[in-house]
Amino acid sequence: MYGYYLDLALRSCRRSKALTALVVLLMGCGVATCMVSWAVFRATSADPIPWKSDRLFVPQIDNFGPAHHWKGEPPILLSYTDAEALLHARQARRQTLIYGSKWAVLPDDAQRQPFSQEGDAVSSDFFAMFDVPFRYGGGWSVSDDDRRAAVAVISSALNQKLFGGANSVGHDINLDAHAYRIVGVLDDWNPSPRFFDVSSTQFPFNHPRELYIPFSRAIDMKKGTTGNFYCSADAANPDLPNWDSVLHSECAWIAGWVELSSPADVEHYREYLRNYAAEQQRLGRFAWAPNIRLSNVRQWLSLPLNHVVPKASALSMIVAVSFLLICLVNVVGLMLARFMWRAPEIGVRRALGASRGAIYRQFLTEAAAIGLAGGVLGLLLTALGMGGIDRMFEPAIARLARLDASLVLLTVLVAVATTLIAALYPTWRAAQVQPAWQLKSNG
């Protein structure tokens, strides 16, 4: 039966080529605009570690006070005092501290010029917590953290640059004129966004860091952060004459993460944070009630203060959906004109015994066929639009948006579904045609 309805739809399309083409064009343009925007929005808002995001948490402690935070939210980074306290309390299965730094790399080959390299200072649990893959070797140990060992993990790109891609574990790398023993070389690893330090870097979709140094070693070397450095309004221009002043200030510049295996562990750690903040209040460091947060990966990335999803991405999605709605309104009008123009045909079919249900099925099949054609056109326009994303967004974001199988399927489904929705009212009107009136007026 649906084959018969499809045959009727094709005949109708051949009879009204211009009207059919206009509907297909409107749906193709509307759907393509939506899908290009969705590809970017999906890339920037996707869960970067879905298999583990419900077990990774960011602790926040308010060390600024209620007069200096945004809508009750504590600072998104930790002060050195709080970061060290949380690390050494070991109340979680794993915990790590992170901050960005820059190092001068001196190649062994005297003919090559030194170059600067951004890296992360991290605690030893970092690699296991975030399932970091290794090509050679592995991370350093807790004992290396404790003794502030001069060890390093480098990326495969930096390993290729310095050692030609060979296994460099056990070799030294010269950083800031100090030798560091390489204990591991990463495999290809580029989580997008760099969720574990979105608040300590200027742009969370940058290329991954090429260098990882023990947090304790970086502190010993007095390496300042290259990321964000937040201070309360009272200390907007803090007097920090030396490194010791930085470490003892209330400025926040260190990202902290913990891994918690169960809801009970989460509640236990949240209670620990409350008790810690209450203890700081009793000691006179805080003059306000405990204000803490414990957010998993999804909650953390959704915080407005982190600015993970670019405003342009969210805005383009809103504009695209609005454009699709405008296209749908126009398609409703065109479908209504298209179907009601065939009122005499409908009247004859009803007089010959066709039910209203049969009219519904006929015209919805026709709408689905037109929607499928619009989906094919939308797919072609989406492919063209994907090639121009880098003109609207940062290159680091543009390269994340892909025309994969799921996007192809979604494009076609959205085109068919929206065309069917647009055809519901015109189809209902067509099914209300009275056969007697049509036969009389055309008699």
- Count how many Cα atoms sit within 13 Å of the Cα of residue 148 in the half-sphere of its side chain: 7
pLDDT at residue 438, rounded to an integer: 47
pLDDT at 13: 66
Name the E strands within 196-305.
211-214, 255-259, 292-296
Phi, psi of 281 (to 5 degrees): -70, -45
The whole-number pLDDT of residue 61 equals: 94
Contact 300, 56 (CB under 8 A): no
Contact assessment for residue 86 and residue 59, using Cβ atoms and an 8 Å cutoff: yes
CA distance 92 to 53: 15
Mention every residue, 6+ apart, whose C-beta is less than 8 A from residue 408. Answer: 379
Report the first-to-last Cα separation within the chain, whole angstroms. Answer: 30
**Dist. CA 98–CA 294, nearest whole Å:** 17
- The answer to whether residues 74 and 230 touch, using CB atoms and an 8 Å cutoff, is no
Beta partners for residue 180, in sequence order: 173
Domain ranges (residues) in the chain:
2-47+311-441, 63-259
The pTM assigned to this predicted structure is 0.76
Helices (H), 284-388: 297-302, 311-340, 343-351, 356-386
Which residues of the chain are under the pLDDT cut of 50?
235-237, 438-440
What's the pLDDT at 264?
96
Q: Which residues, other chains included, contact 380 with Cβ-Cβ below 8 Å and sequence gap of 6+?
A: 28, 32
The pLDDT tens digits for 9-41 are 666 666 777 778 888 888 888 888 888 888 887
Helix or strand run (H / E) with residue 206: none
- Residue in the block written with tokens 């509640």: 267
Q: In this predicted structure, what is the pLDDT of residue 123? A: 96
The pLDDT score that the predictor gives to residue 137 is: 95
